[in-house]
């Protein structure tokens, strides 16, 4: 009975070499083995499949495949091609050029630095598919990481237990107002006392924002809330009020709004990229983290403060 599961790839490699080159000696030269080593491989193959694979005429004449050997060689070559293809794919995976990557992210990252990161990553690894899990809920991002549904995620503040992270940037809070509503430059938080405010619903950034305002003695008067950054800016443009937001949540190039630093400064939000502790990251994920660090270091939010009025 053929015990095909005991067949080894090296047996098929020897079979292919002998069949291709006609003699054990020439096959040995190509494979870099001794002739006796090739003979041993073929003998082991024949024992494993319980059949002769070559007729051996002796002397300088080439060996000939038996009918069984012909079938085995055809199927064996197909298997070797598959193994070679597997090896190529594994090499590409090790290099970070193949695979699938799910990234957790939130609104302001998705609309600012993420396009640059993904663009650079795609230049390096166009065959890695990227899927985003987008939410402004910190707990949801942490849960996705812990469950393994996302491999890496952008997070704000301290990372949850069971996660590791790399700090990317500190995103400062700025005031969004209509042009000319305040003099150019820094605006004292005390000057907001009579201003209605546009805020977000409860999330980590809003909590940091409100804590900073209250620590400066200002109790914000919110007249509208939305977790959509564009909606917050639109309400400011419409004259509904002013807003205090992380710089990455704003549109510095929009001439219909004016950005100002605040006095005293509200401590900025720390943005990191995180992954689950103890989990072996895919090469694609490791490359994504490295590219993310480079992009954020080069385009740190603080470098954009020159645009703040």
pLDDT of residue 91: 93
The overall longest dimension of the chain from CA atoms, in Å, is 105
216: tokens are 């400066």
Residue 303 has pLDDT above 60, yes or no: no
Name the segment(s) of the chain with CATH classification 3.40.190.10.
99-170+269-307, 173-263
Please state the length of the chain: 309
Burial of 91: CB neighbours in 10 Å, binned 0-12, 13-18, 19+: exposed
- Class of 99-170+269-307 per CATH? alpha beta
d(CA 228, CA 201): 10
Mean pLDDT of 50-60: 86
pLDDT of residue 5: 84
pLDDT of residue 307: 40
pLDDT of residue 3: 72
pTM of structure: 0.82
Name the segment(s) of the chain with CATH classification 1.10.10.10.
4-94
Mean pLDDT of 114-139: 94
162: tokens are 């069971």
214: tokens are 């209250």
d(CA 112, CA 303): 14
Cis check for the bond before 264: say yes or no (omega within 30 of 0).
Answer: yes
CATH assignment, 4-94: 1.10.10.10
Residue 305 has pLDDT above 60, yes or no: no
Percent of the chain with pLDDT over 90: 85
Residue 302 banded pLDDT, cuts 50, 70, 90? very low
Residue 290 has pLDDT above 60, yes or no: yes
Residues 6+ apart with CB under 8 A from 234: none
Mean pLDDT of 294-304: 70
d(CA 309, CA 185): 5
CATH assignment, 173-263: 3.40.190.10
Cβ(141)–Cβ(220) below 8 Å: no
Q: What is the mean pLDDT of the chain?
A: 92
125: tokens are 């690894």
pLDDT of residue 306: 38
pLDDT of residue 1: 54
- In the block, which residue shows the tokens 């820094």? 186
Percent of the chain with pLDDT over 70: 95
pLDDT tens-place string over residues 145-198: 999 999 999 999 889 999 999 999 999 999 999 999 999 999 999 999 999 999
């Amino acid at each position: 009975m053929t015990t095909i599961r005991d067949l080894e790839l090296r047996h098929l490699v020897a079979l292919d070499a002998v069949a291709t080159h006609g003699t054990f000696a020439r096959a040995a030269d190509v494979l870099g083995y001794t002739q006796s080593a090739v003979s041993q491989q073929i003998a082991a193959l024949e024992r494993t499949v319980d059949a002769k694979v070559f007729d051996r005429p002796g002397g300088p004449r080439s060996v000939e495949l038996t009918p069984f050997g012909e079938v085995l060689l055809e199927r064996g070559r197909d298997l070797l091609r598959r193994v070679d293809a597997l090896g190529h794919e594994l090499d590409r995976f090790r290099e970070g050029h193949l695979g699938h990557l799910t990234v957790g992210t939130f609104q302001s990252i998705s609309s600012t630095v993420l396009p640059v990161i993904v663009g650079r990553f795609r230049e390096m690894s166009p065959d890695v598919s990227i899927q985003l899990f987008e939410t402004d809920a910190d707990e949801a991002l942490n849960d996705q990481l812990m469950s393994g549904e996302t491999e890496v995620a952008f997070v704000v503040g301290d990372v949850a237990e069971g996660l590791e992270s790399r700090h990317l940037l500190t995103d400062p809070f700025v005031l969004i107002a209509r042009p000319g509503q305040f003099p150019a430059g820094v605006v004292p938080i005390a000057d907001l006392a009579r201003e209605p405010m546009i805020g977000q619903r409860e999330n980590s950034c809003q909590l940091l924002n409100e804590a900073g305002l209250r620590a400066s003695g200002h109790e914000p008067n919110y007249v509208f809330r939305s977790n959509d950054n564009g909606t917050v800016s639109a309400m400011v443009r419409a004259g509904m009020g002013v807003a205090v937001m992380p710089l990455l949540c704003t549109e510095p190039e929009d001439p219909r709004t004016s950005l100002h630093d605040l006095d005293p400064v509200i401590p900025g939000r720390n943005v990191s990229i995180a992954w689950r502790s103890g989990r072996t990251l895919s090469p694609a994920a490791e490359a994504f983290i490295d590219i993310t660090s480079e992009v954020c270091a080069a385009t740190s939010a603080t470098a954009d403060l020159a645009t703040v009025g």
